[in-house]
Structure 1
Amino acid sequence: MNAADDRQPDRVVTPYEGTGHRAWDDEREIPVPLRLHRTPVRPQWVDYNGHMSESCYLLVFGDNSDAFFRYLGIGEEYRAGGRSLYTVESHLHNKREAAEGEPLELGLRLLDFDAKRIHLFHEMRHGADGTLLATAEQMLVHVDAAQGRSCPLPEELQRRLGAILAAHSRAPVPDVVGRPMGIRRDRNT
């Protein structure tokens, strides 16, 4: 249990709460993908089938987003100013199971952004052998919490997002991005 868990045991706490954010360095190379979060599969994430429950995949992807926010320059001080990023849509693709104690390594790519929105893609891999376990595509919106509505990201954050997008747009877009959900049927039979 981390210190944040001790302070607020009755709410969801990411592993990065209370850690502030990284100082942005315009000279630092931006990796593709960003590898900002690692964690073992925790006992409380394992369900009656003996592997990580589907809701916990989203929890881990959320922790990865929080690590990205801190990479970008968004921490507690930013949120104390009444602004934050909210997830408005998520698409999960579960590929393989993960058992208790197995290491997870997360990758994150910025797919696009505009003044108010950020489009992310996450990959969850087994930390020992690199097997792809799950992916998540997410749309985030920048909000003014006091007004309860979207608002533009500050220019400095848009500039940083532009630098990340320039690096990440060189990689091909994953084939699951933007794919609708549905039962595929052979229409010729």
Structure 2
Amino acid sequence: MKRAAIIGGGVIGGGWAARFSLMGWEVRVFDPDPEAERKLGAVMDNARRALPMLYEARMPEPGPVTFHGTMSDAVSGAGYIQESVPERLELKQKVYQTLQAACDPGAVLASSTSGFKPSELQAISARPEQILVAHPFNPVYLLPLAEVVPSPKTSPEIIERAKEILTGIGMFPLHVRAEIDAHIADRFLEAVWREALWLVKDGIATTEEIDEAIRMGFGLRWGQMGLFETYRIAGGEAGMRHFMAQFGPCLSWPWTKLMDVPEFNDDLVDLIAGQSDAQSGDRTIRELERERDNNLVAMLRALKGQGKAAGRLIAAHDDSLRQPLEDTVPMVTVRRIVPVDWTDVNGHMNEGRYGQVFSDASEELMTHIGADKAYIAAGHSYFTAETNIKYHAETLAGEAIFVETRVLLGQGRKLRLGHAMKRASDGALLASCDQFLLHVSLETRKSCDPLPKVREAVERLAQRHEDAA
């Protein structure tokens, strides 16, 4: 099992630990806070519920998360080390000295810092070539972006290894080619944050009104198209050139206070904190995290369905996690977590989603017998002609489920499957489905015999399941 070390187990470090563990890595954590295990446990609980909802494929078995009394012990045997200690440069530099005295010289040594440049982190290190920045965004277990920032001294091999590892755990390593304070994304966030503070301080808007302006407007556009492509569309058929000509002059108008900083004093803190408490103070942080995660899962799944932005990354990573079916009787064709966007007003899974689960099960079996994407692209497939679904118990968001599939008939152009959807925690039967399919030509859209290889695979599987009945 691959091993990662997490130095600092707060909100960000806990998110890293969850992401690595749920992607099958062993995780070793160091944090001197006596409450670290409890706090990280809360992050892990959120991650276990939310991250698997993004995937249709079975995820790896979670790796163990252990806590260690020293940094040296935590990094023993680790191939990837993520530092997430408080944003104090001297502290980080001392941490790197301790880590490099104990860790594998070939391990990736990455920092979650949102502001410091890697050259600053490397200043008193023994092996500067080992250190880079991998700056994530909260919650790390759901948001895929990690800004990978090397310095001129960082080894090219370390950079590539970091990008490969981050890609493997479902993240998007954005290689920042030149180091700069606050990297790329936080510079945008700082600009928006600074302007927001002025708007509140000057009495123009409340914290809630500013949040509404973002989430009801440009935040939705940015989430799926970013900044420049959004403005390209705003230029109409003439594109970005027209937009620049039309709106460029306003850049010299005194619309913002981005070059000025409001005085950070107790009055400003009280004003912001008071409005924030009024806005959402009736809900606990855990409740807000659950709401945030539910919304992110639903939005990311929508983007996944369209194959766009972060959703395209998740879809590709989902495909990479798929494993061939084991040739058991019955065959386990689906293992997954029920996502939040599959539930209805009663809080349980919508009946239409049961059909999707059983459809996914039949598609996995089709791939197993050779009626895969290439077979379909060549003009052949199986179409469902009839289904009969029975609902035996409620299925709730966040529950782990699996589907057992039996081949009840496999003869000529006919294929009949029996599916049983069960709860993973206790094996309880949640729903069953009797599904009848016909092999068709996609050219004529009429039934026809399967190609010999698929027909033989179906008949062989049907006979095996009959013998085991």
TM-score normalized by the length of structure 2: 0.32
For 2:452 and 2:462, locate their aligned partners in 1 and report how far apart those are by CA, in whole Å.
15
Q: Secondary structure at the match of 2:467?
A: coil
Q: In the alignment, does 2:406 pair up with 1:109?
A: yes
Question: Does structure 2 conserve the Cα–Cα contact (< 8 Å) formed by 1:37 and 1:106?
Answer: yes
User: Of the candidates 68, 76, 86, which is equivalent to residue 365 of structure 2?
Assistant: 68
Aligned residue for 2:338? Answer: 41
Deviations 1:131-187 (A, max 9, x none): 000000011011111111011011211211122112211344xxxxxxxxxxxxxxx
For 2:323 and 2:386, locate their aligned partners in 1 and report how far apart those are by CA, in whole Å.
26
For 1:79 and 1:4, locate their aligned partners in 2 and report how far apart those are by CA, in whole Å.
22
Question: Does structure 2 conserve the Cα–Cα contact (< 8 Å) formed by 1:22 and 1:73?
Answer: no
> Partner letter of residue 135 of structure 1?
S
> Partner letter of residue 50 of structure 1?
G
Q: Any stretches of 5+ residues in structure 1 without a counterpart?
A: 10-14, 173-189
Q: How many matched pairs?
A: 162
After superposition, where does 1:32-181 map in structure 2 within 5 Å?
32-172=329-469
For 1:165 and 1:143, locate their aligned partners in 2 and report how far apart those are by CA, in whole Å.
19
Deviation, structure 1 residue 75: 1.6
Structure having the higher helix fraction is 2
Structure having the higher strand fraction is 1
Question: Does structure 2 conserve the Cα–Cα contact (< 8 Å) formed by 1:22 and 1:72?
Answer: no
> Partner letter of residue 5 of structure 1?
G
Percent identity among equivalent residues?
Answer: 28
Runs of 4+ in structure 1 off by over 2 angstroms are 1-9, 15-19, 21-24
Deviation, structure 1 residue 18: 6.4
Q: Secondary structure at the match of 1:36?
A: strand
TM-score normalized by the length of structure 1: 0.77
Q: Which has the larger radius of gyration?
A: 2
- Indicate the RMSD between aligned Cα atoms, in angstroms: 2.7
Q: In the alignment, does 2:307 pair up with 1:7?
A: yes
For 1:158 and 1:8, locate their aligned partners in 2 and report how far apart those are by CA, in whole Å.
37
For 2:385 and 2:455, locate their aligned partners in 1 and report how far apart those are by CA, in whole Å.
19
Deviation, structure 1 residue 22: 8.2
Change (3 A) 1:151 1:4: farther
> Partner letter of residue 37 of structure 1?
V
For 1:116 and 1:22, locate their aligned partners in 2 and report how far apart those are by CA, in whole Å.
27
Question: Does structure 1 conserve the Cα–Cα contact (< 8 Å) formed by 2:403 and 2:420?
Answer: yes
Q: Any stretches of 5+ residues in structure 2 without a counterpart?
A: 1-53, 56-302, 310-314
Question: Does structure 1 conserve the Cα–Cα contact (< 8 Å) formed by 2:370 and 2:454?
Answer: yes
Deviation, structure 1 residue 36: 2.2
> Partner letter of residue 359 of structure 2?
G
Change (3 A) 1:8 1:159: farther
Question: Does structure 2 conserve the Cα–Cα contact (< 8 Å) formed by 1:18 and 1:76?
Answer: no
After superposition, where does 1:17-36 map in structure 2 within 5 Å?
30-36=327-333
For 1:4 and 1:79, locate their aligned partners in 2 and report how far apart those are by CA, in whole Å.
22
Aligned residue for 2:261? Answer: none
Q: Secondary structure at the match of 2:357?
A: helix
> Partner letter of residue 307 of structure 2?
R
Change (3 A) 1:64 1:81: same
Change (3 A) 1:97 1:141: same
Question: Does structure 1 conserve the Cα–Cα contact (< 8 Å) formed by 2:370 and 2:453?
Answer: no
